[in-house]
């Protein structure tokens, strides 16, 4: 048994590099901030591999109690929640820059030709800021139908540009 090779169907990136931080503190409870979106070409039974990273800062918040942000990734086409995480921001009343990294895989279980994914963030206290650069990438892949062990037995001329 070998490792399956995959075929990349699409790759998209959303990079938000504005210089001013994005404040999350003015977002009402139970509301979120859309940070970045990517739309991928997909097929039924393909996979969407999603990655993102950014920083948050509590900006010397005077809030008492646990301070956290909620990070979600949704497939907007059918409101499917693909990823959710709660990230605690350490110390009350002090600047705390926290690096947040997200990674998720979504199996395309619907008859879609495209899928739009949105990275969203919300905070439970005032003065939480989202810092750039914010990067959110998506890659759709499907099983290529050949394993590495099968490919190893295939001889290609050294000048061949044909992919395995």
Higher-confidence residue: 142 or 65? Answer: 142
Residue-wise pLDDT for 85-134, tens only, equals 988 876 665 667 888 999 999 999 888 999 999 999 988 877 778 887 88
Higher-confidence residue: 62 or 28? Answer: 62
- pTM higher than 0.95 for the full model? no
The reported pLDDT for the residue numbered 119 is 94
Residue-wise pLDDT for 129-143, tens only, equals 888 788 999 999 997
Averaged pLDDT of the chain: 80
Full set of structural domains in the chain with CATH: 4-142 (2.60.120.760)
In 3D space, the residue among 140, 134, 141, 127 whose CA is nearest the CA of residue 71 turns out to be 134
Confidence check: pLDDT of 41 > 90: yes
Q: Rounded CA gap, 164 and 161, in Å?
A: 9
């Amino acid at each position: 048994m070998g490792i399956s090779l995959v075929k990349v169907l699409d790759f998209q990136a959303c990079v938000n590099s504005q210089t001013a931080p994005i404040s999350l503190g003015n977002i009402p409870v139970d509301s979120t901030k859309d940070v970045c979106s990517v739309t991928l070409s997909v097929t039924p039974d393909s996979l969407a591999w999603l990655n993102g990273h950014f920083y948050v800062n509590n900006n010397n918040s005077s809030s008492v109690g646990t301070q956290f942000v909620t990070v979600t990734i949704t497939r907007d086409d059918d409101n499917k929640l693909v990823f959710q995480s709660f990230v605690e921001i350490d110390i009350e009343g002090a600047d705390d820059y926290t690096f947040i990294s997200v990674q998720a895989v979504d199996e395309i279980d619907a008859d879609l030709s495209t899928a739009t994914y949105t990275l969203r963030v919300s905070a439970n206290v005032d003065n939480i800021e989202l810092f750039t650069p914010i990067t959110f990438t998506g890659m759709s892949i499907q099983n290529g139908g050949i394993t590495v062990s099968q490919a190893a037995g295939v001889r290609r001329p050294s000048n061949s540009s044909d992919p395995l």
